[in-house]
Amino acid sequence: MSQAAIPETEGGIEIALPECPPGIGDVIDALDSRGLIAGVQIQPLTVWADDRGYLIELLRMGQGLVAGYPAASTQVSASFLYPGPIKGFHYHLRQTDVWAVTVGMLQVALVDLRRGSPTHGLRNTFYIGELRPWQLLIPAGVGHGCKVIGTAPVVLIYATDRFFDRADERRLAWDHKGINYDWVTQHK
């Protein structure tokens, strides 16, 4: 794999764009799946259901995937995503995200952009949402993109360990040639 460096280093993270073969990488379909990108974590959401509907416990500050998030700078946000468009790759040098889909299904693509990481250039694909209620921790330096699976919109709730900072938002094209992610192919 080529390690074309982008002149970005902060907090010990240096970004290097990979040259991946075509495909979707490792499909992570179980909590103990092999091939998980270093630092990426998965945790099932707690769902409390009864005859009135259900409640999804998204996070408890100081516990689970957000255990280390500082209370003074943690932000919880929501995205409403329409079917069709691909929300292209972006990454952060400082911010860690925890994603949870509360309505619909989402295909999430991750790629490790961290030079020196034991999994640099590795790609993961997750299918998360109503049928797989997982939280997904995405560390700084890991590129991430997504698209809605199906015909209904998706509600994505995400917690970040720091407030939004436009200067920390880095973007790559959804069809970046080095990442070479196949958004058409679905895991069958």
Domain ranges of the chain: 4-171
Going by their DSSP bridges, the two strands 26-27 and 123-129 should be labelled as parallel
Given a cut of 60, is residue 188 above it in pLDDT? no
Q: What percent of the chain has pLDDT over 70?
A: 92
**Region 21-40: what's the mean pLDDT?**
95
Residue 131 has pLDDT above 60, yes or no: yes
Which residues, including other chains, have CB under 8 Å from residue 5's CB and lie 6 or more apart?
14, 15, 16, 17, 115
User: pLDDT for 144-172, tens place per residue?
Assistant: 999 999 999 999 999 999 999 999 999 99
Tell me: domain 4-171, CATH 2.60.120.10, correct? yes
Query: pLDDT at residue 5 above 80?
Result: no
> Which residues, in sequence order, are CB contacts of 157 under 8 Å at separation 6+?
58, 76, 77, 78, 99, 100, 101, 102
Q: Confidence band (pLDDT; 50, 70, 90) for 7? A: low
Q: Give the residue-averaged pLDDT of 74-98.
A: 95
Summary mean pLDDT of the chain: 92
Q: By C-alpha distance, which of 110, 108, 69 is closest to 91? A: 110
Residue 1 or 145, more confident: 145
* Predicted local confidence at residue 1, as pLDDT: 40
pTM for this predicted structure: 0.92
pLDDT greater than 80 at residue 24: yes
Residue 117 has pLDDT above 90, yes or no: yes
Q: For residue 122, what pLDDT band results from cuts at 50, 70 and 90? A: very high
Q: 3-state DSSP call for residue 106?
A: strand
Residue 12 confidence (pLDDT): 78
Q: Residue 6 pLDDT more than 70?
A: no
